[in-house]
């Protein structure tokens, strides 16, 4: 079956709508924003094979870009989102020139270093603008029907963003560009040997992943009406890595499932299990040692297994004829 | 100015203690070891328990703290790191980070989240030419230099050291000679962890002690390892003291920017000499 981006994004929207009555509209909005973030991380890690331990930098930049624009320049939320994404994209372009040259652990560490620098920047040198640890309120003005103060409207808007991002990434990753970044993951030297400019592709992917994370950041700012340095917290990077791994890296559905699973774990588990950091640690270990394909990998395998069972009799029949 | 230099040398010494283990683990096993934070922090907490609650003498407590880290690091090596040989770096990274998370949580469980105080065990000052320098800081620098010499002798003269140095160059070649490389790797790992604990124990009295203390120091020592070259022992020594000086010089003029400056230096180094790992 050919996978049409539109149908699957509609299905995903349906899935989110389905879990809304069970959880709550607040939570599902959070979940969806996190899913956008997880998908952007998956583009970088799952598809291109570059593990970043500093992806929160882009989320934070988006949140601060949007928040500061709304606070100081204009209250228009849509312009705020665009500015947030533009700022993040610009940051990604600049940092990408440096970061993309490295691979493996260096890539992860240099991202971590930049995330640290960003966190520090908003915390102290830019204190006068960002208000340091206290953060600042973001009150977007109404724009016709688009009133970010009302819950259902922001829910619908975020849902639309999830569908859009999913559709875009689905199209991108099944295009020749997607094949290119996956081959870079497999063996970059060979791709370069074939005459492709791998640097350009890696840089583009980095900028794209950064900008989508920036979108997630702007939505976070509008959702909470509030920005503080937690949006850029270095330690929160574990969450998105965990989400990608548990869902199955290298697959957008995996990123979505992982995002929702992680959010459920981090929202509900601390109520029941006090030591939830330890739980996270042990589950990461189990994933790394036993469960590499993630939830989506298992679903896919099950699907293939079912498909084979159906196909087997047909081929037998053909032979009989 | 003298104060700044002494301060920088102290931080450089501490960074050196912690970075050796990271550099060696990476050079030999190709594992980026986040679990280093844990051995470092556990050493400090054991020391605090012994010195603050049981009222032991500081040197005795320090030695016992370092010894206590050895079995823990052996367990980590045996059950986590050894399974990760030859895996892609992402998985080793995530697995060791998971160990770090578990460890931090265990520490929070046992000792609580609140920062614990521990005082300077010597507390005397060396006064000359109108300057007064804390003896403790000078002692740390002395220990670092002694350790550097001792490690150089260890890696040049003893058979274990020679095997490790050879394995840094070519692991498979050493294995072909019929040497059980894994055994030496675990020695290296335990040695590195014990040195990290030593760094932690020495640094604890002049910094604050809390469960997450390892993470920020670890980031700095990663910077040291990258600037000095992965698995390059002399490079690690130089870059540790160099970055220590960078930190203290920055702190002199712009106190909050010290750590950030280190990362800027690291970024510059990576731009001009990218490492392919």
- pLDDT above 70 for B122: no
DSSP reduced 3-state for A137: strand
Give the residue with greater pLDDT, B118 vs A102.
Answer: A102
Place of tokens 């220990």: B143
The per-residue pLDDT for A207 is: 93
CA distance A18 to A283: 27
Question: Would residue A258 count as lying in a domain?
Answer: yes
Establish if A281 touches chain B: CB-CB under 8 angstroms: yes
Mean model confidence pLDDT for chain B:
81
CA distance A267 to B254: 39
The per-residue pLDDT for B126 is: 67
Of B83, B105, B223, the CB nearest to A278: B105
Domains: count for chain A = 1
Establish if A270 touches chain B: CB-CB under 8 angstroms: no
**What is the share, in percent, of chain A residues with pLDDT greater than 90?**
12
CA distance B59 to A17: 62
Question: Would residue B266 count as lying in a domain?
Answer: yes
- Cα distances (Å, whole numbers) of residue B23 to A36, A45, B200, B229: 36, 25, 17, 8
Which chain B positions have a beta carbon within 8 Å of A235's beta carbon? 212, 215
Span between the terminal Cα atoms of chain B, in Å: 39
Question: Would residue B277 count as lying in a domain?
Answer: no
Strands of B123-248, DSSP E: 125-128, 131-134
Question: Would residue A317 count as lying in a domain?
Answer: no
Establish if B269 touches chain A: CB-CB under 8 angstroms: no
Which chain A positions have a beta carbon within 8 Å of B274's beta carbon? 101-102, 106
Residues 6+ apart with CB under 8 A from A107: A50, A51, A52, A99
CATH, residue A175: 1.10.3470
pLDDT digits (tens, 9 = 90+) for B209-261: 777 777 778 888 888 888 887 777 788 888 888 888 888 888 888 777 777 88
Question: Would residue B209 count as lying in a domain?
Answer: yes
How close is the nearest chain B Cα to the Cα of A111, in Å?
A: 10
Domains: count for chain B = 1
Contact B102 A288 (CB under 8 A): no
Question: Would residue A200 count as lying in a domain?
Answer: yes
Structure tokens at B226: 């990258």
Question: Would residue A306 count as lying in a domain?
Answer: no
CA distance B26 to B189: 10
CA distance B61 to B43: 10
Which chain B positions have a beta carbon within 8 Å of A100's beta carbon? none
Question: Would residue B17 count as lying in a domain?
Answer: yes
What confidence category does residue B106 fall into, taking pLDDT thresholds of 50, 70 and 90? confident
Instruction: State the residue range of the domain holding A73.
Output: 5-290
Span between the terminal Cα atoms of chain A, in Å: 26
Structure tokens at A301: 């395998």
What confidence category does residue A1 fall into, taking pLDDT thresholds of 50, 70 and 90? very low
**What is the share, in percent, of chain A residues with pLDDT greater than 70?**
94
User: Crossing angle, helix A252-272 and helix A5-19, to 10 degrees?
Assistant: 10
Of A101, A116, A277, the CB nearest to B104: A277
Of B91, B267, B275, the CB nearest to A113: B267
Question: Would residue A184 count as lying in a domain?
Answer: yes
**What is the mean pLDDT of the segment spanning B145-174?**
84
Chain B residue nearest residue A49, CA to CA = B90
Question: Would residue B225 count as lying in a domain?
Answer: yes
- pLDDT above 50 for B182: yes
What confidence category does residue A316 fall into, taking pLDDT thresholds of 50, 70 and 90? very low
Question: Would residue A300 count as lying in a domain?
Answer: no
DSSP reduced 3-state for A250: coil
Question: Would residue B64 count as lying in a domain?
Answer: yes
Mean model confidence pLDDT for chain A:
82
Establish if A17 touches chain B: CB-CB under 8 angstroms: no
**What is the mean pLDDT of the segment spanning A30-37?**
90
pLDDT digits (tens, 9 = 90+) for A3-32: 667 788 788 878 878 887 788 888 888 888
Count of C-beta atoms within a 10 Å radius of residue A302: 10
What confidence category does residue B121 fall into, taking pLDDT thresholds of 50, 70 and 90? low
Of A45, A117, A281, the CB nearest to B99: A281
Question: Would residue A315 count as lying in a domain?
Answer: no
CATH, residue B71: 1.10.3470
Tell me which residue of A11, A10, A27, A18 sits closest to A151, measured CA to CA. Answer: A27
Interface A-B: count of C-beta contacts within 8 A: 114
Instruction: State the residue range of the domain holding B60.
Output: 2-272
Structure tokens at B51: 């010195």
The answer to whether residues B259 and A120 touch, using CB atoms and an 8 Å cutoff, is yes
Contact B260 A120 (CB under 8 A): yes
Contact B97 A235 (CB under 8 A): no
- pLDDT above 60 for B154: yes
Cα angle, residue A210 at apex, residues A209 and A216 outer, rounded to 5°: 95
Question: Would residue A11 count as lying in a domain?
Answer: yes
Establish if A94 touches chain B: CB-CB under 8 angstroms: no
Sign, CA dihedral A99-A243-A135-A269, equals negative
Of B90, B108, B275, the CB nearest to A102: B275
């Amino acid at each position: 079956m050919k996978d049409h981006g539109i149908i699957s994004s509609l299905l995903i929207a349906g899935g989110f709508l389905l879990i809304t009555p069970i959880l709550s509209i607040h939570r599902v909005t959070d979940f969806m924003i996190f899913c956008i973030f997880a998908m952007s991380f998956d583009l970088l890690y799952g598809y291109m094979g570059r593990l970043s331990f500093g992806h929160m930098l882009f989320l934070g930049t988006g949140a601060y870009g949007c928040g500061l624009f709304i606070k100081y320049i204009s209250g228009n939320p849509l312009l705020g989102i665009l500015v947030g994404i533009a700022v993040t994209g610009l940051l990604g372009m600049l940092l990408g020139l440096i970061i993309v040259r490295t691979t493996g652990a260096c890539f992860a560490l240099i991202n971590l270093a930049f995330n640290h620098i960003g966190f520090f920047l908003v915390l102290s040198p830019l204190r006068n603008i960002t208000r340091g640890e206290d953060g600042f309120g973001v009150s977007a003005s109404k724009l016709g029907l688009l009133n970010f103060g009302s819950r259902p409207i922001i829910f619908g808007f975020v849902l639309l963003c999830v569908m859009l991002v999913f559709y875009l990434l689905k199209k991108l990753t099944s295009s020749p560009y997607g094949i290119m970044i996956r081959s870079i993951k497999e063996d970059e030297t060979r791709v370069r040997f074939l005459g492709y400019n791998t640097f350009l592709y890696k840089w583009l992917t980095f900028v794209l992943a950064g900008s989508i994370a920036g979108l997630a950041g702007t939505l976070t700012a509008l959702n909470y009406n509030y920005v503080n340095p937690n949006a850029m917290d270095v330690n929160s990077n574990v969450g998105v890595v965990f989400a990608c791994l548990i869902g199955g890296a290298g697959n957008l559905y995996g990123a979505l499932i992982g995002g929702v699973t992680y959010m459920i774990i981090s929202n509900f588990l601390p109520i029941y299990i006090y030591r939830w950091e330890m739980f996270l640690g042990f589950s990461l270990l189990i994933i790394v040692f036993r469960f590499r394909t993630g939830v989506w990998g298992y679903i896919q395998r099950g699907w293939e297994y079912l498909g084979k069972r159906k196909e087997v009799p047909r081929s037998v029949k053909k032979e009989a004829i | 100015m003298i104060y700044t230099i002494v301060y920088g040398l102290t931080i450089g010494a501490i960074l050196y203690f912690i970075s050796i283990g990271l550099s060696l683990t990476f050079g030999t096993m190709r594992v980026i070891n986040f679990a280093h934070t844990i051995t470092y922090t556990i050493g400090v907490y054991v020391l605090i328990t012994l010195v603050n609650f049981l009222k032991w003498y500081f040197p005795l407590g320090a030695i016992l703290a370092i010894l206590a880290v050895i079995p823990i690091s052996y367990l980590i090596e045996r059950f986590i790191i050894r399974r990760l040989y030859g895996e892609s770096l992402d998985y080793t990274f995530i697995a060791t980070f998971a160990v770090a998370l578990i460890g931090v949580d265990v520490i929070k469980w046992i000792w609580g989240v609140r920062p614990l105080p521990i005082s300077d065990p010597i507390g005397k000052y060396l006064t000359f030419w109108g300057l007064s320098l804390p003896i403790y800081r000078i002692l740390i620098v002395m220990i670092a230099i002694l350790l550097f010499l001792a490690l150089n002798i260890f890696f040049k003269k003893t058979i274990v050291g020679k095997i490790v140095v050879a394995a840094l160059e070519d692991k498979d070649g050493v294995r072909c000679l019929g040497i059980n490389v894994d055994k030496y790797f675990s020695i290296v790992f335990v040695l590195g962890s014990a040195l990290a604990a030593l760094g932690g124990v020495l640094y604890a009295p002049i910094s604050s002690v809390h469960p997450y203390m390892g993470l920020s120091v670890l980031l700095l020592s990663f910077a040291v390892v990258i600037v000095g070259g992965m698995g390059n022992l002399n490079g690690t020594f130089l870059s540790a003291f160099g970055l220590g000086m960078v930190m203290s010089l920055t702190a002199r003029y712009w106190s909050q920017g010290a750590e950030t400056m280190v990362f800027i230096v690291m970024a510059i180094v990576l731009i001009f000499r990218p490492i392919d790992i």
